[in-house]
Amino acid sequence: MDLLKVEGLKAGYKGLNVLWDVDLSVKKNTIVSIIGSNGSGKTTLLNAIMGLVEISEGDVVFKGERINHLRTQERVTLGLAFVPSERELFPQMSVQDNLMLGAYTPRARRSIKDSLRQVYDFFPVLKERSNQLAGTMSGGEQQMLAIGRALMSLPELLILDELSTGLAPAVTLRIYRKLKGLSERMTVLLAEQNIHQAFMVSDYIYVLENGRIIASGSPDELSESSLIKNAYLGVKA
């Protein structure tokens, strides 16, 4: 079943359209990546799915419901969670308060204690620093906090923009493994610069260029395609 479906999406900013006729679907309990060079529109696409960028044409469908008209916080209540590339933490609040706010929706609030324990197990450094102000954490720690905050909402679909930003490769790898484990219960949509990691972790990949999907397929299918080999994997076909 498609948990998320994007159909004929056109979106952008005042006076500048960025995405053209984008189709994409994310099946339940899979990990799907969007790859593409800088400025290809990955962030814009994720923001449009979250309701942070306005859609001019097309549909975003989540759990069979068209959610174009819903505001971001309503989409979160429905079960979407987002780790923005800029992290968007609350710098003058403690790590723990940042996490608690991740469980703001009524559904998540009910199991806030369990979720907090799980996130602390996931990222022990957050537990050690639970009273530190988020703004004074290192870049990598802030990234972990942003991921932890998103997990606190018990999402059905976790959307991550550039998960690896600021993180040591070993940490990224560990998080990817964990996400893979979580995908029993959760579905993940990623925008990723790091093609090799995207290929390693994803069940399905979309390639975005200049605001259009130019290829898609399983990692195996895509690594057979000469186009992708040349442009992204650094392998001569």
Ligand X SMILES: Nc1ncnc2c1ncn2[C@@H]1O[C@H](COP(=O)(O)OP(=O)(O)OP(=O)(O)O)[C@@H](O)[C@H]1O
Q: Which is nearer to Mg ion, 42 or 87 (CB)?
A: 42
* Residue among 219, 189, 192 nearest 205 (CA): 219
Q: How far apart are the first and last CA of the chain?
A: 35
43 binds Mg ion (CB under 5 A): yes
71 binds another protein (CB under 8 A): yes
Shortest separation between residue 167's beta carbon and ligand X, angstroms? 16
**Cβ distance 205 to 216 under 8 Å?**
yes
Q: Which is nearer to ligand X, 18 or 145 (CB)?
A: 18
Q: Which is nearer to ligand X, 38 or 131 (CB)?
A: 38
Q: Which is nearer to Mg ion, 11 or 99 (CB)?
A: 11
- Sketch the per residue contact string, 1 through 20, with ligand X: x for CB under 6 A, - otherwise: ------------x--x-x--
Name which of another protein, Mg ion, ligand X, none residue 93 binds, using a CB cut-off of 5 to 8 Å depending on partner kind. another protein
Distance of alpha carbon 118 from alpha carbon 124, whole angstroms = 10
> Per the structure block, which two tokens stand in for 176?
């990817």
- Selected binder of ligand X within 6, 24, 26, 42 (CB under 6 A): 42
> Crossing angle of helices 95-102/139-151, nearest 10°?
30
**Cβ distance 208 to 170 under 8 Å?**
no
